[in-house]
Amino acid sequence: MPFTDPRPLATRERHNAVVPDALIAHRGAPLLAPENTLPAMRAAAEKGARWVEVDVKLTSDMKPVIIHDDRLDRTTNGTGFVGNTLFEDIRKLDAGAKFSPDFAGTRVPTLEELVETVLELDLGLQLELKPTAGDDVETAEVALAAMKALWPVGRSKLFFTSFSIRSVHAAARLMPDVPRAYAVVAPPRDPKALLDETKCQILHVQHEFMPEDALKRLADSGIEYAVATINDREIADRFFKAGAQTVLSDLPDLFG
């Protein structure tokens, strides 16, 4: 369903933006379906999202799966660390019942399943490389090797992001033509210098750590930046007025 673009005209018409849209659906639609699952991607698309964000991690046998936390406990009926668990054992887990009995039997998606669903729904994809501390390079290498085979040649609407500088640098080496975003908690003193250093085109910031002086630095830098995670229209409007290109939201229809 269409929504009203809340951004200033200059932001909407920015021709060099990696993400031209106002909203990226954070982990799909995590208030409507279990986060980072295929039902969450479908729910986001049904609510009008054009882009989704998901997290990819490695199992103990180096298989890429779509899950956010280091541990399995919060979102599945399993226990322990993703990085200590075999792929076949993760695939036996229920990733939906904790959210609602209606989603019982939902599985942790493979990266292949996730990409197939994104392409089927004609969505853009923000793939966050979410390493377990220590496998930063390996997470990028495995995930991007898969993406080279899965993502259609010539199709844009894809970028990689990470809080890990090692993951980001690995992505720049492995798939240099795909844009990258560097995610931070504390706003940088020199946003443009940070993007140059990290070899990224976008900066992702957390809205809770954004005082007025940091907003001004971001606006004055002229970089493309996105803000996470915003579920309030007024807060989103504040950041758009300050020059943000995009927000990440748990509400795919925040601007509906």
Report pLDDT digits (tens) over 195-224. Answer: 999 999 999 999 999 999 999 999 999 999
Provide the 10 A C-beta neighbour count for residue 234.
7
pLDDT given at position 61: 98
- The pLDDT value recorded for residue 1 is 53
Q: pTM for this structure?
A: 0.97
DSSP label at residue 249: E
Number of domains within the chain: 1
Cα dihedral value 237, 239, 242, 247, nearest 10: -110
According to the model, what pLDDT value does residue 45 have? 98
Q: Is residue 242 part of a domain?
A: yes
- Residue 200: domain span: 9-52+129-249
The SS3 assignment for 111 reads helix
**Does residue 85 lie in a domain region?**
no
pLDDT digit string, tens, across residues 120-151: 999 999 999 999 999 999 999 999 999 999 99
* Domain CATH number, residue 138: 3.20.20.190
Contact call for residues 167 and 137 (beta carbons, < 8 A):
yes
pLDDT-derived band at 85 (thresholds 50, 70, 90) equals very high
The verdict on residue 42 lying in a domain is yes
